[in-house]
A and B are shown apart, each in its own frame.
Chain A
Amino acid sequence: MKKIEVKGVTKIFGSDPAKGVELLKQGLSKDEILEKTGMTVGVRDANFEVDEGEFFVIMGLSGSGKSTMIRMINRLIDPTVGEIYIDGENIVEMDKEQLIQTRRKKLGMVFQRFALFPHRTVLQNVEYGLEVQGVAKEEREKKAMESLEVVGLKGYEHSKPDQLSGGMQQRVGLARALANGSDILLMDEAFSALDPLIRKEMQDELLQLQEKLKKTIVFITHDLDEALKLGDRIAIMKDGAIVQIGTPEEILTDPANEYVANFVQDVDRSKVLLASQVMRKPDVVTTWKDGPRVAARKMEEKGISSIFVVDKDKKLKGLLTIDAALQAIKENRWVEDFLVQDYHVTSPDTPLDELITVAAETKYPIAVVEDEKLLGIIVRVSILAGLALGKEEMNGQ
Chain B
Amino acid sequence: MNYFYLPLEDWTNTFVDDWLIPVLGPVFDVIREYLLIIISVFESFLLWIPAEVFTILLTILAWRVAGKGVALFTLIGLFFLGSVDLWEQGMQTLAIVLVATLFSIIVGVPVGILSAKSDKVERFVRPILDFMQTLPSFVYLIPAILLLGIGIVPAVISTFVFATPPAVRLTNLGIRQVPTEVVEAARAFGSTPWQMLIKVQLPMALPTIMAGVNQTIMLALSMAVIASMIGAPGLGAEVLRGISQINVGMGFVGGLGIVVLAIILDRITEALGNKR
Question: Given A103-B187, A117-B200, A119-B276, are A112 and B181 neighbors across the interface (CB < 8 Å)?
Answer: yes
**A137 CB to nearest chain B CB (Å):** 14
CB-defined contacts of A111 to chain B, threshold 8 Å: 181, 184-185
What is the number of residues of chain A that contact chain B, defined by CB distance less than 8 Å?
A: 29
Say yes or no: B192 contacts A132, CB within 8 Å.
Answer: yes
CB-defined contacts of A18 to chain B, threshold 8 Å: none
**B193 CB to nearest chain A CB (Å):** 9
CB-defined contacts of B189 to chain A, threshold 8 Å: 103-104, 108-109, 128-129, 132, 176, 180
In the bound complex, how far is the Cα of B276 from the Cα of A173, in angstroms? 22
Is B69 on the interface with A (CB-CB < 8 A)?
no
Q: Return the contact of B187 from the options A76, A101, A131, A133 (Cβ within 8 A).
A: A76
In the bound complex, how far is the Cα of B187 from the Cα of A100, in angstroms? 8
Q: Within B176-202, which residues are at the interface with A (CB < 8 Å)?
A: 179, 181-182, 184-192, 195, 199-200
Q: Within A109-154, which residues are at the interface with B (CB < 8 Å)?
A: 109, 111-119, 128-129, 131-133
B154-195 CB mask vs A (1 if < 8 Å, else 0) is 000000000000000000000000010110111111111001
Say yes or no: A117 contacts B204, CB within 8 Å.
Answer: yes
Task: Please give me the residue from chain B that is nearest to A131 by CB atom.
Answer: B199
Is A216 on the interface with B (CB-CB < 8 A)?
no
Question: Given A117-B200, A119-B276, A132-B195, are A107 and B181 neighbors across the interface (CB < 8 Å)?
Answer: no
Give the one of B186, B188, B206 with max A CB within 10 A: B188
In the bound complex, how far is the Cα of B188 from the Cα of A109, in angstroms? 7
B133-158 CB mask vs A (1 if < 8 Å, else 0) is 00000000000000000000000000
Say yes or no: B185 contacts A119, CB within 8 Å.
Answer: no
CB-defined contacts of B25 to chain A, threshold 8 Å: none
Q: Within A180-218, which residues are at the interface with B (CB < 8 Å)?
A: 180, 186
CB-defined contacts of B199 to chain A, threshold 8 Å: 117, 128, 131-132
Is A276 on the interface with B (CB-CB < 8 A)?
no
Q: Within A31-81, which residues are at the interface with B (CB < 8 Å)?
A: 71, 74, 76
In the bound complex, how far is the Cα of B203 from the Cα of A384, in angstroms? 54
Q: Within B27-69, which residues are at the interface with A (CB < 8 Å)?
A: none
In the bound complex, how far is the Cα of B184 from the Cα of A392, in angstroms? 33
**A98 CB to nearest chain B CB (Å):** 11
Q: Within B208-223, which residues are at the interface with A (CB < 8 Å)?
A: none
In the bound complex, how far is the Cα of B190 from the Cα of A133, in angstroms? 8
Question: Given A76-B184, A112-B181, A132-B199, are A119 and B204 neighbors across the interface (CB < 8 Å)?
Answer: yes
CB-defined contacts of A128 to chain B, threshold 8 Å: 186, 189, 199
Question: Given A112-B181, A119-B203, are A107 and B188 neighbors across the interface (CB < 8 Å)?
Answer: yes
CB-defined contacts of A186 to chain B, threshold 8 Å: 188
In the bound complex, how far is the Cα of B181 from the Cα of A76, in angstroms? 11
Task: Please give me the residue from chain A that is nearest to B182 by CB atom.
Answer: A115
B256-276 CB mask vs A (1 if < 8 Å, else 0) is 000000000000000000001
Question: Given A118-B204, A119-B204, are A113 and B181 neighbors across the interface (CB < 8 Å)?
Answer: yes
CB-defined contacts of A105 to chain B, threshold 8 Å: 190
Say yes or no: A115 contacts B195, CB within 8 Å.
Answer: no
Task: Please give me the residue from chain B that is nearest to A119 by CB atom.
Answer: B203
**A317 CB to nearest chain B CB (Å):** 62
The 3 residue pairs across chains A and B that have the minimum distance between CB atoms: A104-B190, A103-B190, A115-B181
Known: A102-B190, A117-B186, A119-B203. 6 other contacts (CB 8 A): A76-B187, A109-B185, A112-B181, A118-B204, A128-B186, A128-B199
Can you give 11 A-B contacts (C-beta < 8 A)? A103-B188, A104-B189, A107-B188, A109-B189, A112-B181, A114-B181, A116-B182, A117-B185, A117-B199, A119-B276, A180-B189
B residues at A contact (CB < 8 Å): 179, 181-182, 184-192, 195, 199-200, 203-204, 206, 276
